[in-house]
Amino acid sequence: MTTVAPWQPGDVPAPVGQLPFHELANLFPLIEGDAFDDLMADIAANGLQEPIELLDGAILDGRNRYRAALAVGATVHTRQFRGSDPLAYVMSRNLHRRQLSPSQRAIIAARVATMRQGERTDLTEPSANLRKVSQGEAARAANVSDRSVTTAREVLAHGSAELVRAVEGGRVSVSAAADIASLPIDQQKRLVESVDPRAFAAVARQFRDRKTAEKKAKRAGREAALAVRQRALPEKRFGVIYADPEWQFEVYSRETGMDRAADNHYPTSPTNDIVARPVGDIAAKDSVLFLWATAPMIKAALRVMEHWGFTYKAQFIWLKDRISTGFWNRNKHELLLVGTRGDIPAPAMGEQWPSVIEAPVGEHSAKPEIFAEMIEAYYPNLPKIELNARRARPGWDVWGLEAPEAVA
Protein backbone atom coordinates (compact mmCIF):
# COMPACT_ATOMS: atom_id res chain seq x y z
CA MET A 1 0.00 0.00 0.00
CA THR A 2 1.39 3.43 -0.97
CA THR A 3 1.37 6.06 1.80
CA VAL A 4 1.65 9.79 1.16
CA ALA A 5 2.84 12.31 3.75
CA PRO A 6 0.61 15.42 3.85
CA TRP A 7 3.40 17.98 3.41
CA GLN A 8 7.10 17.77 2.71
CA PRO A 9 9.87 20.32 2.11
CA GLY A 10 9.74 21.41 -1.50
CA ASP A 11 5.95 21.37 -1.80
CA VAL A 12 5.00 24.61 -3.54
CA PRO A 13 1.82 26.50 -4.39
CA ALA A 14 0.46 25.60 -7.82
CA PRO A 15 -0.33 28.15 -10.52
CA VAL A 16 -4.13 28.19 -10.46
CA GLY A 17 -5.87 26.68 -13.47
CA GLN A 18 -2.69 25.88 -15.38
CA LEU A 19 -1.97 22.24 -14.56
CA PRO A 20 -2.77 19.61 -17.21
CA PHE A 21 -3.68 16.04 -16.32
CA HIS A 22 -1.13 13.29 -16.94
CA GLU A 23 -2.36 10.54 -19.27
CA LEU A 24 -1.80 7.94 -16.54
CA ALA A 25 -4.15 9.86 -14.26
CA ASN A 26 -6.67 10.01 -17.09
CA LEU A 27 -6.88 6.22 -17.08
CA PHE A 28 -9.41 6.70 -14.28
CA PRO A 29 -12.70 8.57 -14.67
CA LEU A 30 -13.18 11.83 -12.80
CA ILE A 31 -15.69 11.81 -9.97
CA GLU A 32 -18.88 13.78 -10.56
CA GLY A 33 -22.22 14.52 -8.94
CA ASP A 34 -22.73 14.07 -5.20
CA ALA A 35 -19.26 12.61 -4.69
CA PHE A 36 -17.62 15.72 -6.15
CA ASP A 37 -19.94 18.02 -4.18
CA ASP A 38 -18.92 16.25 -0.97
CA LEU A 39 -15.24 16.63 -1.86
CA MET A 40 -15.66 20.38 -2.47
CA ALA A 41 -17.45 20.79 0.84
CA ASP A 42 -14.69 18.97 2.69
CA ILE A 43 -11.90 21.02 1.10
CA ALA A 44 -13.83 24.25 1.71
CA ALA A 45 -14.07 23.35 5.39
CA ASN A 46 -10.67 21.77 5.99
CA GLY A 47 -8.44 22.90 3.15
CA LEU A 48 -6.39 20.66 0.88
CA GLN A 49 -4.78 18.15 3.25
CA GLU A 50 -2.58 16.42 0.69
CA PRO A 51 -0.43 17.97 -2.05
CA ILE A 52 -1.10 17.35 -5.72
CA GLU A 53 1.45 14.92 -7.22
CA LEU A 54 3.12 16.02 -10.48
CA LEU A 55 5.05 14.16 -13.18
CA ASP A 56 6.46 15.88 -16.26
CA GLY A 57 4.56 19.04 -15.32
CA ALA A 58 1.17 17.28 -15.28
CA ILE A 59 -1.01 16.03 -12.44
CA LEU A 60 -0.26 12.36 -11.80
CA ASP A 61 -2.46 12.06 -8.71
CA GLY A 62 -5.01 14.49 -7.29
CA ARG A 63 -7.07 15.68 -10.28
CA ASN A 64 -10.33 15.64 -8.33
CA ARG A 65 -8.80 17.42 -5.31
CA TYR A 66 -7.27 19.98 -7.67
CA ARG A 67 -10.60 20.66 -9.38
CA ALA A 68 -12.41 20.90 -6.06
CA ALA A 69 -9.76 23.21 -4.57
CA LEU A 70 -9.99 25.54 -7.56
CA ALA A 71 -13.78 25.54 -7.33
CA VAL A 72 -13.81 26.62 -3.67
CA GLY A 73 -10.75 28.87 -3.83
CA ALA A 74 -8.54 26.74 -1.58
CA THR A 75 -4.75 26.98 -1.73
CA VAL A 76 -3.22 24.26 -3.89
CA HIS A 77 0.22 22.85 -3.14
CA THR A 78 2.11 20.46 -5.42
CA ARG A 79 5.13 18.22 -5.25
CA GLN A 80 7.07 16.16 -7.78
CA PHE A 81 6.50 12.43 -7.95
CA ARG A 82 9.47 10.79 -6.25
CA GLY A 83 8.78 7.13 -7.05
CA SER A 84 10.21 4.89 -9.77
CA ASP A 85 7.02 3.40 -11.26
CA PRO A 86 4.31 6.02 -11.91
CA LEU A 87 1.92 3.49 -13.46
CA ALA A 88 2.01 1.19 -10.44
CA TYR A 89 1.57 4.23 -8.19
CA VAL A 90 -1.49 5.50 -10.05
CA MET A 91 -3.06 2.03 -10.21
CA SER A 92 -2.50 1.44 -6.50
CA ARG A 93 -3.79 4.85 -5.40
CA ASN A 94 -6.97 4.71 -7.47
CA LEU A 95 -7.88 1.04 -7.19
CA HIS A 96 -7.55 1.12 -3.40
CA ARG A 97 -9.62 4.23 -2.79
CA ARG A 98 -12.34 3.78 -5.40
CA GLN A 99 -15.27 1.40 -5.75
CA LEU A 100 -14.83 0.58 -9.44
CA SER A 101 -16.84 -2.12 -11.18
CA PRO A 102 -15.06 -4.99 -13.01
CA SER A 103 -16.05 -3.36 -16.31
CA GLN A 104 -14.49 -0.04 -15.31
CA ARG A 105 -11.31 -1.82 -14.24
CA ALA A 106 -11.26 -3.77 -17.52
CA ILE A 107 -11.40 -0.55 -19.55
CA ILE A 108 -8.57 0.89 -17.46
CA ALA A 109 -6.47 -2.24 -18.00
CA ALA A 110 -7.20 -2.12 -21.73
CA ARG A 111 -5.98 1.46 -21.90
CA VAL A 112 -2.81 0.52 -20.02
CA ALA A 113 -2.17 -2.36 -22.44
CA THR A 114 -2.70 -0.19 -25.53
CA MET A 115 -1.04 3.10 -24.54
CA ARG A 116 2.51 1.84 -23.98
CA GLN A 117 5.15 2.98 -26.42
CA GLY A 118 7.83 0.60 -25.20
CA GLU A 119 11.24 1.81 -24.15
CA ARG A 120 11.63 4.59 -26.72
CA THR A 121 13.19 7.82 -25.49
CA ASP A 122 12.94 9.81 -28.71
CA LEU A 123 9.34 10.89 -28.11
CA THR A 124 8.25 14.05 -26.34
CA GLU A 125 5.00 12.65 -24.91
CA PRO A 126 5.05 11.84 -21.17
CA SER A 127 4.36 8.17 -21.93
CA ALA A 128 7.51 7.80 -23.97
CA ASN A 129 9.70 6.91 -21.02
CA LEU A 130 7.19 4.59 -19.33
CA ARG A 131 7.84 0.89 -19.26
CA LYS A 132 5.97 -1.46 -21.57
CA VAL A 133 3.08 -3.33 -19.94
CA SER A 134 1.59 -6.53 -21.35
CA GLN A 135 -2.13 -7.21 -21.40
CA GLY A 136 -1.67 -9.93 -18.80
CA GLU A 137 0.17 -7.55 -16.46
CA ALA A 138 -2.51 -4.92 -16.91
CA ALA A 139 -5.25 -7.45 -16.17
CA ARG A 140 -3.55 -8.60 -12.99
CA ALA A 141 -2.94 -5.03 -11.83
CA ALA A 142 -6.62 -4.20 -12.29
CA ASN A 143 -7.75 -7.53 -10.81
CA VAL A 144 -9.73 -8.59 -13.88
CA SER A 145 -9.48 -11.50 -16.30
CA ASP A 146 -7.39 -11.36 -19.45
CA ARG A 147 -10.53 -12.12 -21.44
CA SER A 148 -12.35 -9.09 -20.03
CA VAL A 149 -9.41 -6.90 -21.07
CA THR A 150 -9.63 -8.33 -24.60
CA THR A 151 -13.33 -7.44 -24.62
CA ALA A 152 -12.55 -3.94 -23.35
CA ARG A 153 -9.96 -3.46 -26.08
CA GLU A 154 -12.66 -4.28 -28.64
CA VAL A 155 -14.82 -1.57 -27.11
CA LEU A 156 -11.96 0.94 -27.25
CA ALA A 157 -11.17 -0.01 -30.85
CA HIS A 158 -14.72 -0.01 -32.25
CA GLY A 159 -16.94 1.77 -29.73
CA SER A 160 -18.11 5.35 -30.00
CA ALA A 161 -16.76 7.89 -27.52
CA GLU A 162 -20.19 7.96 -25.86
CA LEU A 163 -20.20 4.18 -25.45
CA VAL A 164 -16.69 4.15 -23.96
CA ARG A 165 -17.64 6.92 -21.52
CA ALA A 166 -20.72 4.93 -20.49
CA VAL A 167 -18.48 2.00 -19.54
CA GLU A 168 -15.96 4.26 -17.81
CA GLY A 169 -18.76 5.85 -15.83
CA GLY A 170 -20.08 2.50 -14.67
CA ARG A 171 -23.41 2.85 -16.51
CA VAL A 172 -22.84 0.02 -19.01
CA SER A 173 -20.99 -3.29 -18.64
CA VAL A 174 -18.04 -3.94 -20.91
CA SER A 175 -19.64 -7.13 -22.28
CA ALA A 176 -22.83 -5.29 -23.25
CA ALA A 177 -20.75 -2.51 -24.79
CA ALA A 178 -18.81 -5.05 -26.86
CA ASP A 179 -22.06 -6.31 -28.37
CA ILE A 180 -23.12 -2.78 -29.26
CA ALA A 181 -19.65 -1.81 -30.56
CA SER A 182 -20.20 -3.88 -33.71
CA LEU A 183 -22.91 -1.43 -34.83
CA PRO A 184 -22.21 1.70 -36.88
CA ILE A 185 -20.99 4.61 -34.76
CA ASP A 186 -24.14 6.71 -35.23
CA GLN A 187 -26.33 3.82 -34.04
CA GLN A 188 -24.10 3.38 -31.00
CA LYS A 189 -24.50 7.06 -30.12
CA ARG A 190 -28.29 6.90 -30.44
CA LEU A 191 -28.47 3.81 -28.24
CA VAL A 192 -26.34 5.31 -25.48
CA GLU A 193 -28.42 8.50 -25.54
CA SER A 194 -31.85 6.86 -25.74
CA VAL A 195 -31.66 3.63 -23.73
CA ASP A 196 -32.00 3.58 -19.95
CA PRO A 197 -28.70 2.18 -18.57
CA ARG A 198 -30.70 -0.36 -16.55
CA ALA A 199 -32.14 -1.76 -19.79
CA PHE A 200 -28.91 -1.59 -21.75
CA ALA A 201 -27.90 -5.18 -21.00
CA ALA A 202 -31.21 -6.48 -22.37
CA VAL A 203 -30.84 -4.38 -25.53
CA ALA A 204 -27.27 -5.60 -25.99
CA ARG A 205 -28.43 -9.19 -25.52
CA GLN A 206 -31.00 -8.71 -28.30
CA PHE A 207 -28.27 -7.51 -30.65
CA ARG A 208 -26.03 -10.41 -29.62
CA ASP A 209 -28.79 -12.95 -30.23
CA ARG A 210 -29.55 -11.40 -33.60
CA LYS A 211 -25.88 -11.45 -34.54
CA THR A 212 -25.58 -15.09 -33.46
CA ALA A 213 -28.64 -16.03 -35.53
CA GLU A 214 -27.18 -14.24 -38.56
CA LYS A 215 -23.90 -16.12 -38.16
CA LYS A 216 -25.73 -19.44 -37.91
CA ALA A 217 -27.78 -18.66 -41.00
CA LYS A 218 -24.67 -17.60 -42.90
CA ARG A 219 -22.85 -20.77 -41.87
CA ALA A 220 -25.83 -22.94 -42.90
CA GLY A 221 -25.93 -21.16 -46.26
CA ARG A 222 -22.23 -21.79 -46.83
CA GLU A 223 -22.63 -25.47 -46.00
CA ALA A 224 -25.61 -25.86 -48.35
CA ALA A 225 -23.89 -24.01 -51.21
CA LEU A 226 -20.77 -26.13 -50.74
CA ALA A 227 -22.91 -29.27 -50.92
CA VAL A 228 -24.42 -28.17 -54.24
CA ARG A 229 -20.98 -27.59 -55.74
CA GLN A 230 -19.62 -30.92 -54.51
CA ARG A 231 -22.58 -32.93 -55.76
CA ALA A 232 -22.25 -31.28 -59.17
CA LEU A 233 -18.70 -32.57 -59.72
CA PRO A 234 -18.39 -35.12 -62.59
CA GLU A 235 -16.61 -37.57 -60.24
CA LYS A 236 -18.14 -37.66 -56.81
CA ARG A 237 -16.19 -35.90 -54.10
CA PHE A 238 -17.11 -35.96 -50.45
CA GLY A 239 -17.30 -33.02 -48.08
CA VAL A 240 -17.38 -35.35 -45.07
CA ILE A 241 -15.20 -38.43 -44.62
CA TYR A 242 -15.83 -40.55 -41.53
CA ALA A 243 -13.12 -43.17 -41.09
CA ASP A 244 -12.55 -45.99 -38.61
CA PRO A 245 -9.32 -47.63 -39.86
CA GLU A 246 -8.52 -51.23 -38.96
CA TRP A 247 -5.46 -50.27 -36.91
CA GLN A 248 -2.88 -52.96 -36.28
CA PHE A 249 -0.95 -52.62 -33.04
CA GLU A 250 1.12 -54.95 -30.92
CA VAL A 251 -0.30 -56.68 -27.87
CA TYR A 252 1.84 -56.95 -24.74
CA SER A 253 2.44 -60.66 -25.33
CA ARG A 254 1.69 -62.63 -28.48
CA GLU A 255 1.53 -65.77 -26.34
CA THR A 256 -1.02 -64.55 -23.79
CA GLY A 257 -2.55 -61.41 -25.26
CA MET A 258 -3.77 -62.46 -28.70
CA ASP A 259 -7.20 -63.36 -27.35
CA ARG A 260 -7.79 -59.61 -26.96
CA ALA A 261 -6.06 -58.52 -30.18
CA ALA A 262 -8.05 -56.77 -32.90
CA ASP A 263 -6.70 -59.34 -35.41
CA ASN A 264 -8.79 -61.96 -33.63
CA HIS A 265 -11.99 -60.09 -34.45
CA TYR A 266 -11.40 -58.57 -37.91
CA PRO A 267 -8.55 -58.16 -40.42
CA THR A 268 -6.16 -55.34 -39.55
CA SER A 269 -3.70 -53.41 -41.71
CA PRO A 270 -0.25 -51.91 -41.07
CA THR A 271 -0.21 -48.13 -40.73
CA ASN A 272 1.75 -47.77 -43.98
CA ASP A 273 -1.07 -49.48 -45.87
CA ILE A 274 -3.65 -47.15 -44.35
CA VAL A 275 -1.47 -44.13 -45.13
CA ALA A 276 -1.20 -45.21 -48.77
CA ARG A 277 -4.96 -45.28 -49.38
CA PRO A 278 -5.95 -42.57 -51.87
CA VAL A 279 -8.53 -41.03 -49.58
CA GLY A 280 -7.45 -37.58 -50.70
CA ASP A 281 -8.68 -38.46 -54.19
CA ILE A 282 -12.28 -38.77 -53.01
CA ALA A 283 -12.14 -35.74 -50.70
CA ALA A 284 -13.61 -32.48 -51.94
CA LYS A 285 -11.36 -29.44 -52.06
CA ASP A 286 -13.20 -28.13 -48.99
CA SER A 287 -13.85 -31.07 -46.67
CA VAL A 288 -13.59 -32.46 -43.16
CA LEU A 289 -12.24 -35.77 -41.88
CA PHE A 290 -13.47 -37.48 -38.72
CA LEU A 291 -10.88 -40.16 -37.90
CA TRP A 292 -11.14 -42.71 -35.09
CA ALA A 293 -8.03 -43.64 -33.12
CA THR A 294 -7.23 -45.41 -29.89
CA ALA A 295 -4.83 -43.82 -27.42
CA PRO A 296 -1.78 -45.90 -28.52
CA MET A 297 -2.42 -45.02 -32.18
CA ILE A 298 -2.58 -41.22 -31.95
CA LYS A 299 0.81 -40.70 -33.60
CA ALA A 300 -0.11 -43.08 -36.43
CA ALA A 301 -3.53 -41.46 -36.84
CA LEU A 302 -2.04 -37.97 -37.15
CA ARG A 303 0.36 -39.32 -39.77
CA VAL A 304 -2.55 -40.84 -41.70
CA MET A 305 -4.52 -37.61 -41.47
CA GLU A 306 -1.61 -35.59 -42.84
CA HIS A 307 -0.94 -37.99 -45.74
CA TRP A 308 -4.60 -38.00 -46.67
CA GLY A 309 -4.35 -34.22 -47.03
CA PHE A 310 -5.99 -32.95 -43.85
CA THR A 311 -4.83 -30.63 -41.07
CA TYR A 312 -5.61 -31.62 -37.50
CA LYS A 313 -8.03 -29.25 -35.73
CA ALA A 314 -9.72 -30.88 -32.73
CA GLN A 315 -10.86 -34.12 -31.10
CA PHE A 316 -13.85 -35.70 -29.44
CA ILE A 317 -13.65 -38.29 -26.69
CA TRP A 318 -15.92 -41.30 -26.53
CA LEU A 319 -16.27 -42.09 -22.83
CA LYS A 320 -17.24 -45.75 -22.59
CA ASP A 321 -19.54 -47.33 -20.04
CA ARG A 322 -17.06 -50.06 -19.20
CA ILE A 323 -13.33 -50.28 -18.67
CA SER A 324 -10.89 -52.19 -20.89
CA THR A 325 -7.24 -53.21 -20.74
CA GLY A 326 -4.06 -51.31 -21.55
CA PHE A 327 -0.31 -51.08 -20.97
CA TRP A 328 -0.10 -47.84 -18.94
CA ASN A 329 -3.69 -47.55 -17.79
CA ARG A 330 -7.00 -49.32 -18.09
CA ASN A 331 -8.58 -47.78 -21.13
CA LYS A 332 -12.04 -46.28 -21.00
CA HIS A 333 -12.09 -43.98 -24.02
CA GLU A 334 -11.39 -43.61 -27.73
CA LEU A 335 -10.63 -40.51 -29.75
CA LEU A 336 -12.37 -39.08 -32.79
CA LEU A 337 -9.87 -36.72 -34.43
CA VAL A 338 -11.06 -33.87 -36.62
CA GLY A 339 -9.06 -32.58 -39.59
CA THR A 340 -9.93 -30.18 -42.40
CA ARG A 341 -8.76 -29.19 -45.85
CA GLY A 342 -9.65 -26.06 -47.75
CA ASP A 343 -12.36 -23.72 -46.49
CA ILE A 344 -14.83 -25.93 -44.66
CA PRO A 345 -17.18 -24.13 -42.24
CA ALA A 346 -16.86 -25.03 -38.57
CA PRO A 347 -20.06 -25.47 -36.57
CA ALA A 348 -21.89 -22.26 -35.75
CA MET A 349 -21.24 -20.79 -32.31
CA GLY A 350 -23.61 -22.35 -29.82
CA GLU A 351 -24.17 -25.40 -32.03
CA GLN A 352 -20.98 -27.25 -31.04
CA TRP A 353 -21.35 -30.55 -29.24
CA PRO A 354 -19.39 -31.22 -26.04
CA SER A 355 -15.91 -32.65 -26.53
CA VAL A 356 -16.64 -35.63 -24.25
CA ILE A 357 -19.58 -37.86 -25.24
CA GLU A 358 -20.66 -40.80 -23.11
CA ALA A 359 -22.03 -43.82 -24.97
CA PRO A 360 -22.27 -47.57 -24.31
CA VAL A 361 -19.88 -50.09 -25.85
CA GLY A 362 -21.36 -52.28 -28.59
CA GLU A 363 -19.90 -55.13 -30.60
CA HIS A 364 -16.12 -55.22 -30.98
CA SER A 365 -14.81 -51.98 -32.57
CA ALA A 366 -18.31 -50.73 -33.47
CA LYS A 367 -18.71 -47.01 -32.88
CA PRO A 368 -21.79 -45.45 -31.27
CA GLU A 369 -24.40 -44.05 -33.64
CA ILE A 370 -24.42 -40.77 -31.75
CA PHE A 371 -21.16 -39.70 -33.42
CA ALA A 372 -22.62 -40.15 -36.91
CA GLU A 373 -25.66 -38.21 -35.73
CA MET A 374 -23.37 -35.41 -34.56
CA ILE A 375 -21.70 -35.30 -37.97
CA GLU A 376 -25.10 -35.14 -39.67
CA ALA A 377 -26.11 -32.28 -37.37
CA TYR A 378 -22.92 -30.40 -38.26
CA TYR A 379 -23.14 -31.06 -42.01
CA PRO A 380 -26.68 -31.99 -43.06
CA ASN A 381 -26.13 -31.24 -46.75
CA LEU A 382 -22.55 -32.20 -47.63
CA PRO A 383 -21.94 -35.52 -49.42
CA LYS A 384 -20.74 -38.02 -46.81
CA ILE A 385 -18.89 -41.32 -46.92
CA GLU A 386 -18.05 -43.73 -44.11
CA LEU A 387 -14.89 -45.79 -44.50
CA ASN A 388 -14.95 -49.24 -42.85
CA ALA A 389 -18.67 -48.85 -42.32
CA ARG A 390 -20.65 -51.64 -40.66
CA ARG A 391 -24.09 -50.14 -41.05
CA ALA A 392 -25.67 -48.11 -43.82
CA ARG A 393 -27.03 -44.67 -43.05
CA PRO A 394 -29.51 -42.91 -45.34
CA GLY A 395 -27.74 -40.47 -47.63
CA TRP A 396 -24.24 -41.80 -46.90
CA ASP A 397 -21.88 -43.67 -49.21
CA VAL A 398 -19.99 -46.54 -47.58
CA TRP A 399 -16.72 -48.40 -48.16
CA GLY A 400 -15.00 -51.30 -46.44
CA LEU A 401 -14.84 -55.05 -46.04
CA GLU A 402 -18.00 -55.18 -43.96
CA ALA A 403 -19.75 -52.29 -45.67
CA PRO A 404 -23.44 -52.89 -46.46
CA GLU A 405 -25.28 -51.57 -49.48
CA ALA A 406 -25.70 -47.81 -49.33
CA VAL A 407 -29.16 -46.52 -48.43
CA ALA A 408 -30.49 -43.73 -50.60
Single-letter residue type at 44: A
Q: Which of 6-20, 103-117, 318-332 has the highest mean pLDDT?
A: 318-332
Q: What is the pLDDT of residues 34-85, one digit of tens each?
A: 888 989 999 999 988 888 999 988 999 989 999 999 888 888 888 899 888 8
Q: What are phi and psi of 18, to 5 degrees?
A: -120, 5
Mean pLDDT for the stretch of residues 319-326: 86
Percent of the residues in the chain that have a pLDDT greater than 70, as a whole number? 82
Q: What is the pLDDT of residues 203-215, one digit of tens each?
A: 777 777 777 787 7
Which residues make Cβ contacts (< 8 Å) with residue 21, sequence separation at least 6?
58, 59, 63
- The pLDDT, as a whole number, for residue 264 is 45
Contacts 24+ apart (CB under 8 A), 275-281: 275/303, 275/304, 275/307, 275/308, 276/307, 277/308, 279/241, 279/243, 279/308, 279/309, 279/387, 280/308, 280/309
User: Which range among 143-157, 173-187, 243-257, 334-348 shows the weakest confidence by mean pLDDT?
Assistant: 243-257
- The pLDDT, as a whole number, for residue 123 is 38
Does 132 score more than 80 pLDDT?
no
pLDDT band at residue 265 using 50, 70 and 90 as cut-offs: very low
- The pLDDT, as a whole number, for residue 332 is 92
Does 342 score more than 60 pLDDT?
yes
Mean pLDDT for the stretch of residues 211-221: 80
Name the average pLDDT for the chain.
Answer: 81
pTM of the model: 0.52
